[in-house]
Amino acid sequence: MFTAALFCDIQCFVFLQYTSLEKLGAAFHEAETRNEQVSKKTTVQKDMRCNIKRLFTLAIGVFAATLVIISFSKDNYEREWKQGPQSNEARHAPVGHVIPDAPIPSSPSFPTGQNSLPHQPLPPSLGEKDLSNPFNFLYPSNKVTLRKLFELTKDVDFDLLKRNECKTNTTLSKYWENSQQRYVPEDDNWERFYSHIGSCSVYSDDQLIDNLLHDLNTSPIKHVHIMDGGTQVKFVFTFKNDKQAVFKPMRFGRDYESDPNHFYFSDFERHHAEIATFHLDRVLGFRRAIPTVGRVLNITTELFEKAEKKLKKTFFFSPAKNFCFVSRCDYYCDTTHAICGLPDMKEGSVQVFLPDESAVPRKHNRSPYRRTYSKKNQVAEWQSSMSYCTDKVKTKKQYAHGRRLLDLVDIHILDYLIGNQDRHHFESFNVFTDLPSYAIHLDHGRAFGRSDIDDDDIILPLRQCCIIRPSTFKTLLDFYGSPKSLTKALHESLSKDPAHPILAYKHYPAMERRLSKVMAYILECIESRGVSEVLVPEYNNPDVSDVDQNDEDQSEEHQDKKDEKKTV
């Protein structure tokens, strides 16, 4: 009994000791684990402190190297920035806009930097007027060329030739009344303009056009929507009378020069180029350009509040608190190229819509002097062969007879004077079915981009074909030899626009220089081929039949739809 009790006590003692030892071992193991964790944490902290020191040392080294690089290249960066274009209008901009210093002449050992984009200045029509003399330059008129041209053409009866250039001159309203007994309404200036579209020119009544320009500049705007198919920002204005016009907003000042690294098909469009070309076309007596006028708008009340939903979403306030918009288009419709007001006033060009094609159909003709519109292959066949007109143009039925080839030369003379390289198609009215159609002068938004360069490729149709309409030659000759020069007549016409001054004065000597070259090229043609072969009211190639000319026109138009303009 005693032995059993003793055994039980011993058993309990052993169990208690075992339990104590187990707890002691567990505590020892836990302490050992905690020591290891503390040791690892200390090691990690040491490594982190070491890495932080290394990173700090590296950052100091990079910062010091950056300072050294900047100090070495400061002059070059400053020179490249200062070579960017500047605008006279920008100097009159409100306080707070940074204006670059005067340009520093570039050293021959350093290449010219890329042009920077200037900020958008106050419209010149709202700023201070430039009172300097726009004609303070030497005219490049060559007295020898002038004397030879007068001598060679002294026996030409220009009045007779001019009457044969367009033998039937009627208006749309008269033509429809006589042929279809249709009545054309004339309730407003838009309808009067449409009814007076002629078979020889887009318009002939200057007073009617002046009234239309006044309405385009002052009529209340009812609705604004994005113009479909545009490569750059264009709006369609619908006025209170439900008539429409195209609006191109001002993006840069008048002095802005195209970046020489930009291709002609990707250059910025200039609203004032459309206005100036309309006036030049009028001064030259063509009257085939679409009436266009300048207008200064309130972005808030005349654009934003009248805009369609998808256009309204693109408006915003810039960090300078100016009201801006982006719109939607193929090129330059992003925040980087946003168009902003100062703070919400914006100038632009307003061009009247031509009649709807369902009522007054038009032909879309591919120009034989179309450029490649390619970054890889930049030289077209006509740019490399002086026999191109004889071999490839005069042999085509649509150019072998009638006025179309002469219209093509007129277009390129106009394009050469304004420096417009972007000529791929031209349109003509297809409503006077039994009368020859003429080329409408459209799309001049990329003109007046450079005043220091003359692209002589533009005038190649004149040099290669060696024909010119007598009335065109007589007008150019009169301006070339008259005290009232071409640019003086243009300046007088432009001064009537509400947004004048329209052109930077540096474009005036450029136009006179180009006119002098045109007259020299005409003299070359007359001396080599004779007056009677060069000055023609209509062109006729006896080696090409004039039968089925319309069929070839239709096939060409069908080909144009398959071969739209591409940039590669």
Mean pLDDT confidence for 254-273: 81
| Tokens at 366, concatenated | 């591919």
Dihedral angle of Cα 98, 232, 459, 426, to the nearest 10 degrees: -160
pLDDT at residue 376 in the model: 80
Nearest to 560 by CA among 290, 359, 370, 394: 370
Of the candidates 422, 456, 551, 560, the residue annotated as catalytic is 422
Nearest to 284 by CA among 444, 555, 477: 477
- Mean pLDDT across the chain, nearest whole number? 82
Candidate from 122-126, 180-184, 289-293, 335-339 with smallest mean pLDDT: 122-126
Residue 38 reports pLDDT greater than 90: no
Nearest to 417 by CA among 250, 251, 276: 276
Give residue for tokens 């006044």.
214
pLDDT at residue 113 in the model: 42
pLDDT at residue 329 in the model: 83
Q: What DSSP string describes 299-359?
A: IIIIIITTB-HHHHTTEEE-TTS-EEE----SSS-SGGG-EE-SSSEEEEEEEEPPPPTTT
Say if CB 254 and CB 88 are below 8 A apart. yes
Instruction: Please tell me the distance from the alpha carbon of residue 61 to that of residue 56, in angstroms, as a whole number.
Output: 9
- Secondary structure (3-state) at 381: helix
pLDDT at residue 10 in the model: 54
Reported pTM:
0.76
pLDDT at residue 249 in the model: 93
Helix%, strand%, coil% for the chain, nearest 5: 45, 10, 45
Pairing between strand 401-402 and 539-540?
A: antiparallel
pLDDT in tens, 399-441: 999 999 999 999 999 999 999 988 888 999 999 988 999 999 9
Residue 17 reports pLDDT greater than 60: no
Residue 362, phi then psi, degrees to nearest 5 = -130, 150
Residues that constitute the known binding site for Mn(2+): 269, 443
551 catalytic per annotation = no
Segments in 219-315 forming alpha helices (H): 271-283, 309-312
Candidate from 116-120, 160-164, 169-173, 220-224 with smallest mean pLDDT: 116-120
